[in-house]
Structure 1
């Protein structure tokens, strides 16, 4: 905690108890504010959700954190989880495409290759596709001045096959979205910026790889998990918030929000049966919920928020007797390009990827599949049992799995993944300009600055930082 606390602390209300809201609350408390967190559901954590299947701990939502972006790992350490941070036991993955399971090629940036050599051995691309990659450096020099979809940009240089069989499945694992709609500038900003300074896309990717190799610490993991699942992070942050004097209320939807009539006046937060006042408010809720709360007095920002689209998905987690799945291929699982027409879009072999899943019950093998893509969500209307059967059918076709699970768990994330289409960053800039003009208000979450856990943690912390001068200028001076 910050040593320069003040007895005359302002009161901040954080609306939303996902990891962004909890990160905001954690920073506000550390810098001397009084904090109340209001979560509409009965559970904290949002898309981070720790559960179990057949007695084995698993994540029923997001399962890993990007370790080379530090915010999430730093927060985990700050709330006492340092000794539970674990890298994946294996990171090798496959693609189920062109009729078989093929190794994920090396040497790419979000599926964008740095040349044909790593692709040739994998069998992911046809001879025609490989020839297109080889020809790319001879194309006219890159001209990239404005945002473009990553699919259209990569297809214009390498051909659609690279997009459909490499870029799309990797992006699908992050956004469940369409590569031909997702913004290059928002989804892969490093690639966007580098491409503006190089003559070819091949040269761009190689420059990124070279810079990354020289900057990396030897042996440092790309991803990190938490023993018991990354779903353990929200309750640990909540415990730290409470220990620092913060109040957390679940099952408490906010029905209305009104700013004061003059600068410095208190905010009014309307609940079902009471009204709270606050000196500042953090909106850490999905875009439609934020739009509803802003509509009456910040209509332009609300209109922009209402244009944020979302994808839905389901995770099907299954436990098998280990002896009955001994023939599964090596690796942490596989991705499935949508162009291949399969029902599942990925499968993770949890007992291979995470040591705590393997060790919890050595007689069981846990894996999960994901179903549902943006604008292709018809299967999500099916019953849980049907989603299990869809998953089993595709698993048998992909890896020959014929066993029946001893336990299953279906978790639906309806409107769970915000989409980042071309122009998304400009839209967010317009929203932030309008929000920042209102003293004592900040927004954060997956809809704004990135959907990964570190990005959400950073979004929450930055929202808190913007409010500190409003809450207590003396506190902000001690940062």
Structure 2
């Protein structure tokens, strides 16, 4: 069976790896990538001669997918966890401790954000349980509309937006409640009498387990292991122009014909390729917008007096151009052992691409100046790396779950066609691994059924 996987990001590579695992050496796998490299928005580069991730650097450690995949690939020794330091929030020109006992920054009570927001907002949060909550089960609104109404706009700007900006490169006004915070939506559907009660019912129990994980030598190790063990034919620097049905097979222009196809492409590309095949799915995918971002990685002298925190998140409405700082040499013990310090400075939120228009030198200067402002110490980089991610992250807007349901329903009848990617069921690497595994299983099941007259594997 000849199978094409279109897109060589983490979703495409995991799909191909799972197909190889299931179908064995007899499967003829081709991975097609428009760029000249594998990995999509995951990329490991060299800063100061050492590997540093220039895209995502971490994954949610409490999900099982990535640790399990590392074990399967024989690289479990790459798994590392943070040092346990907490980040700060930059708001009103000062740093504040990141509030505890929140749900993506949504407080569980007034004491949670006392000191971060003003007294009027604290009083508003304290009185929220006494205010009538009007909620229609099954409804989906943007996170801003709900939280600003119940807890005040300042709570969103200083506590919620900084966290959502890190996950989606978006803002509370661009992210839908049901897709980003499904457990909270469920608590409201079940009749929570207030937002305070809904958040309290949704918070996970306290745990000492690491929240995040990473790879010691960067995601490049994972990407290489997937490519090597999949042993697929890889076509690079080739954008797929069209997908069409020809005599019971799929023509993937300009590469050739295949028995089955996995589309591991961004939502707009998926929409274009499905337009003449599954128009309902295509329209739904076209409705998913993307956000762009940029990253500056600064290499600093090891004795730079950075604060003893994992990073600094920036509230909306501040004068800084950066949206977040990861003090990587504080956050990760394996980076702390290096001869120089590493800091990642992130730019860009949905609807604001101004930072991406800056030349590299200006972007590095902005990162350096903003870091000096939030740390209060002189910043003198030894070197810097700039990475831009145009259209790098899908925005899970209100109605996102319905769009995904339409995509999957419209494609249900195609046993030889599957879609996967960060625009479906989560933007994080674990969610991408899970979705890619599902897509590969769909194709493999159809292939096995086709090969067996009885339908039995």
TM-score per shorter chain, which class? Answer: over 0.9
- Alignment equivalent of 1:415, drawn from 391, 402, 412: 391
| Aligned equivalents of 2:336, 2:17: Cα separation in 1 | 33
Partner of 1:178: 171
Partner of 2:404: 428
Deviation at 1:147, TM superposition (A): 0.6
- Alignment equivalent of 1:398, drawn from 374, 387, 393: 374
- Say if 1:266 and 1:278, in contact at 8 Å, map to a contact too: yes
| Aligned equivalents of 2:40, 2:84: Cα separation in 1 | 27
Report whether the alignment pairs 1:443 with 2:419. Answer: yes
SS at match of 1:259: strand
SS at match of 1:154: helix
Alignment TM-score, normalising by the size of structure 2: 0.94
- Say if 2:280 and 2:406, in contact at 8 Å, map to a contact too: no
Partner of 1:278: 258
User: Deviation string for 1:165-222 (max 9, x for gaps)?
Assistant: 111110000111121121000111111112222212212222222xx227x5xx3211
- Alignment equivalent of 2:184, drawn from 171, 179, 191: 191
- Say if 1:61 and 1:231, in contact at 8 Å, map to a contact too: no
SS at match of 1:338: coil
Report whether the alignment pairs 1:467 with 2:447. Answer: no
- Say if 1:142 and 1:196, in contact at 8 Å, map to a contact too: no
Deviation at 1:239, TM superposition (A): 1.6
Partner of 2:307: 329
Deviation at 1:257, TM superposition (A): 1.6
- Alignment equivalent of 2:90, drawn from 89, 96, 104: 96
Report whether the alignment pairs 1:269 with 2:269. Answer: no
SS at match of 1:422: coil
- Alignment equivalent of 1:29, drawn from 20, 34, 40: 20
SS at match of 2:55: coil
Deviation at 1:318, TM superposition (A): 0.6
1:73-472 aligned at under 5 Å gives the runs: 73-120=67-114, 123-141=115-133, 143-145=135-137, 146-197=139-190, 198-209=192-203, 212-213=204-205, 219-242=208-231, 246-261=232-247, 265-271=248-254, 275-323=255-303, 325-326=304-305, 328-359=306-337, 361-362=338-339, 364-472=340-448
Partner of 1:12: 3
| Aligned equivalents of 2:301, 2:119: Cα separation in 1 | 41
Deviation at 1:156, TM superposition (A): 1.8
| Aligned equivalents of 2:357, 2:93: Cα separation in 1 | 28
| Aligned equivalents of 2:20, 2:184: Cα separation in 1 | 37
Deviation at 1:297, TM superposition (A): 3.2
| Aligned equivalents of 2:286, 2:178: Cα separation in 1 | 21
Q: Runs in 1 of length 4+ with deviation above 6 angstroms?
A: none
User: Deviation string for 1:36-87 (max 9, x for gaps)?
Assistant: 2111211111111111111122110001011112112221221122111011
Deviation at 1:307, TM superposition (A): 2.4
User: Deviation string for 1:9-36 (max 9, x for gaps)?
Assistant: x332111110011111111111116122
SS at match of 1:344: coil
CA 1:300/1:195 → structure 2, altered by over 3 Å: closer, same or farther?
Answer: closer
Deviation at 1:125, TM superposition (A): 0.7
| Aligned equivalents of 1:410, 1:401: Cα separation in 2 | 22
- Say if 1:63 and 1:231, in contact at 8 Å, map to a contact too: no
- Say if 1:45 and 1:235, in contact at 8 Å, map to a contact too: no
Alignment TM-score, normalising by the size of structure 1: 0.90
Moved more, 61-70 or 248-257: 248-257
User: Deviation string for 1:279-333 (max 9, x for gaps)?
Assistant: 210000111222222223333432332222111111000111122x12x211111
Q: CA RMSD in A?
A: 1.8
| Aligned equivalents of 1:453, 1:144: Cα separation in 2 | 32
Deviation at 1:142, TM superposition (A): 5.1
- Say if 1:147 and 1:423, in contact at 8 Å, map to a contact too: yes
| Aligned equivalents of 2:223, 2:262: Cα separation in 1 | 17
Moved more, 65-74 or 367-376: 65-74
List gaps (5 residues or longer) in structure 1.
1-9
